[in-house]
Each structure stands twice: as C-alpha cells, then as structure tokens.
Amino acid sequence: MGNLIRAHLARLWKSPVFWLGTAASAASGALLWFPNAAGLAVVPPICCAAVFSLFFGAEYADGTMRNKLAAGHSREAIYLATLVAALAVMGLFLALSSPGILVTARLYPFGRYTPGQGALAIVTVVLASAATAAVMVCLCMLVHKRAVLALALVFLVLGGVMAASAVYDEMQAYAGYWTVEYDPVEPAEGELPLPAGDGPVQELSVYVPPSKPPAALRALAHILPATQVFLAVDPGNFAVPWTMPLCSLAEIVLVTGLALALFKRKDIK
C-alpha cells in the first residue's frame, strides 16, 4: 500500500489542478479572517472536489485502476491508499486556509477560546473535514464516469454546505443573545411605549437565556460535517460538544467500511 500512496503523491506533485487548489487555499488563508471563519467549511472541500474529480476520477478512464489490479494490488490496498492520499490533500488545503483565521481570532474578545475549547475546535474541524474527504473518496471509487463524478462532488459540497447553513441558522435561535428593533413612537400591538431616543426606531439588545435545541436539530448538527465547522468557529454563541468529533470519526469508519464492501463487488472492466 505504501507504493500506491507514494504513486498518488508523485502524480499529485505533477498535477496542475492540484497546484491550482493549493494556490486557492493559500489565497483564502490570507483573506479569511475570524468573522468569516466559516469559509473553512467551504474552501477546502471545493478545492478537493476539483482535485479529486480530475485526479482520482481519471483512474477508470485512463486504465490506471485495471493496471493496479493486474499488478496484484488488492482492492482494499487500492481503496485505502486513495483514502490516505485524499486525507493528505484535504489536510493540506485546510492548513493553508487557516492561518488568517488563527491570527485574527486573537483580535476579537468574543472569539477567544480557552486552551481546552481551542483544542476541541481544532479537532472538530480536522475530523469534520476528514469525514467530508472520506465521502468524496467513496464517490471517486464507485463512480467511473468522470463527468458524473465531477457533478456529484460539486453537488455534494454545495448541498452539504447549504444544508449545514440551514441547520446552523436554526441553532442560532437557541443562543443566548438576541437583537430586536423597537419603535417607541408607534409600538406594535402588545408592546409598551418607551421614551424616544435619537430616532424613531431604537435597536435594543435583549438577553434571553440560552435553551437546548431539539434532539433532531442536535442530531443533524452532529451528522453534517459543515455544521460542525460552523459551530467550532463560533465560540461566542455555542460550546462545541465533545461528541461531535467522535461522530465525525464514526462517519469516517462507517463510510469507509461501506465503500470498501461496494468497491470489492464493483465490476472493473
């Protein structure tokens, strides 16, 4: 399996699309500041979708997959070598996308972590990204048409981010602080009039004690890797539960096991 991993890395080194993804990740690392840290859930997976579809997705069309099997490599070794290479690419893109966020987070009081919170947030982001990469590899090894694979990976990333964003927005409703607008001149029905301020509409910050999100919403937050990233980089509103990285680890194991079982049965012509 080591030879297969080294072959993947050697081919990646010569791949223009890999270097374009590296450049895009490095640029995002300089542009993404802490308030926009949720870009970590978008940029590395998008770059990986491009690299994986054009790199790993070419193995069926180029005959590389048949050659590996003919050379005596087992399907388990082929799949796991691809997974290791994919995780290395995701880790690189994630690392390149993070420096600006790590530096600017110190400038925002609401964004400061305790050492334990910081470590948990980093582990959560890393494992959530790895879970995303594992699902991508599953598609790469099971879909042999490159165009179909490219569309599947793009829809996977964009659809996952949209679903995760919707779940994250719902969870915001259970955070502790709300901001509301109040019109003291013409209060809404049921509102008590207040003294007028500088203008007809005042913005009032009202504290509401945080409440526990419903079990279904918490389950979705644990399942969707992008939601885990959103929550991990938002320490001002939510405390990341230690069960989230464990859930990502379980997803990696389950997806890999299922994909291996299907890949063993796949007819490779």
Residue-wise pLDDT for 244-260, tens only, equals 899 999 999 999 999 99
CA distance readout (Å), 141 to 1, 42, 102, 127, 226: 16, 23, 34, 21, 22
**Residue labelled with tokens 């995303």:** 132
CA distance readout (Å), 182 to 174, 177, 206, 207, 209: 21, 16, 11, 15, 20
- Rg, the chain, Cα only: 23
CA distance readout (Å), 233 to 220, 227, 242: 17, 10, 14
Whole-number pLDDT of residue 143: 87
Long-range contacts of 236-244 (CB under 8 A, 24+ apart): 236/110, 236/111, 237/172, 237/175, 237/176, 237/177, 238/171, 238/175, 239/117, 240/117, 240/120, 240/121, 240/124, 242/120, 244/124, 244/128
Burial bucket for residue 84 (CB in 10 Å: 0-12, 13-18, 19+): middle
Nearest one of 162, 169, 166 to 238, comparing CA atoms: 169
Token pair in block for residue 30: 């300089």
Whole-number pLDDT of residue 109: 52
- Output phi, psi for 144, to 5 deg: -95, -10
pLDDT in tens, 125-172: 899 999 999 999 999 998 888 888 888 998 999 898 899 888 888 887
CA angle, 170 then 238 then 204, to 5°? 70
Contact 94, 21 (CB under 8 A): no
pLDDT in tens, 162-199: 998 888 888 877 766 555 555 555 555 544 444 444 45
pLDDT in tens, 195-244: 444 455 555 555 556 667 788 888 888 899 988 888 887 765 666 788 88
Whole-number pLDDT of residue 69: 82
Token pair in block for residue 227: 């939601």
- Tell me: pLDDT of 77 over 80: yes
